[in-house]
Amino acid sequence: MNTERATNAEALFLQGYNCAQSVVHAYQPELGVDSATALKCACGFGAGMGRRQEICGAVTGGVLVLGLRHGRALGEPKPKSDDTYARVRTLMGRFEQAHGSCACRELLSGCELQTEDGQREFKEKNYLNERCVRYVRDVVAMLDELAAPEA
């Protein structure tokens, strides 16, 4: 694992950027995407997509990284899509194996981030530091293997 990249992702997350932004931004220099674009394109994926608590934002940030690294562009062969899909399934499978789920709601034990009470619970139980930081770091570690050009 690239510990510097994981540390950078964690630091950005702890500065108040969301989980998806933190993961994508950690890879932006090598993906040909500037910092602002990386942060903007990942912004809506935080907290399980706009606080809907669907797929964990760290995981969806990882999906964005895999797409930027391996995805199919205009005029490229369809097998590039198949390869990217396989990498996404692997990332999600590994994350689910490590944490029991890819769903933000389940990862946060049902804490409802769309409500004031839920946001208060999130802070009181220190989920940001006790859980979410680990999810960001773990996705970066998984991507270091899955997003490698030769992988």
Instruction: Assess whether pLDDT exceeds 50 at residue 151.
Output: no
Who's near 108: CB < 8 A, 6+ residues apart? 53, 122, 127, 131
Burial, 76: exposed, middle or buried (Cβ in 10 Å; 0-12, 13-18, 19+)? exposed
* Average pLDDT score over residue span 72-81: 96
Instruction: Assess whether pLDDT exceeds 60 at residue 149.
Output: no
Give the number of domains in the chain: 1
Instruction: Give the type of residue at 61.
Output: G
What are the structure tokens assigned to 113, written together? 């981030």
Which structural domain, as residue segments, surrounds residue 130?
Answer: 3-145
- pLDDT tens across 128-146, in order? 999 999 999 999 999 998 7
Instruction: Give the type of residue at 14.
Output: L
Q: Tell me the pLDDT band of 2, cut-offs 50, 70 and 90.
A: confident
**Structural domain includes residue 151:** no
Burial, 87: exposed, middle or buried (Cβ in 10 Å; 0-12, 13-18, 19+)? buried
Please report, rounded to a whole number, the percentage of residues in the chain having pLDDT higher than 70: 96
Q: Is the pTM of this model over 0.85?
A: yes
**Structural domain includes residue 106:** yes
Q: What is the pLDDT of residue 142?
A: 96
**Structural domain includes residue 126:** yes
